[in-house]
Structure 1
Amino acid sequence: MVPIATYGYCLWYFDGARNKGAMNQLKQMQRKAALWITGAFRTSPTGGHEALAGLIPVHLMLKKLATCTVYHIATLLDTHPLHSMMGKRLLKRAEPHTCSAALMTPIMQGKVKSTVMEVDEHVHTLTESFKPFVPKARPGDWLLDRYADHLHFNERDPTQDRRPYLDELITIARADPLTVLAAADGSVPQSNQYQATSAAIIYKGHRKLERTCYVSGRVTAPDAELNAIACAVRLAVKQANCQHIMVFTDSMGLAHRAVDPSIHSGQAFSLSVCRTLQEWFEADDLCHITFVYVPSALRWDIHGEAHKYVTELKVRVGCRKTDNSIDALCSQAAHSVLDSWSSTFQDPTYRGSEFLELQQPDGWPIQPSYLNGGPWLSYFGHSITEFARVCQCITGHAPIGVYYRRFKINKPHGCTCRAALQSCQHVLFCCRDRYSVHYPRFLRDIASFLRHNPMAFGFNQDPSGVGSLLQVGLFLLLGDLW
Structure 2
Amino acid sequence: MYKHSHPIIKHLHIYADNYTALNSIVEPSSRAGQSWATSFQNTIMGFLNQNPEHTLAKDASELWCLDHPTLTNAKQMTKARALDDWTAEWKSHKFMGAFATANHIPPAWKPRDHFFTTKREVYARLTQCRTGHGFFGEYYSQFVPTETTSCSCGTVLQTRDHIIQEAFTKTGMPRGQAIPLIYHEDEVYEDGEASGGEAEQEEEEEEEDLSEGSESEREE
Normalized against structure 1, the TM-score is what? 0.21
Normalized against structure 2, the TM-score is what? 0.40
Higher strand share: 1
- Which gives a bigger RCO, structure 1 or 2 (Cα 8 Å, sep 6+)? 1
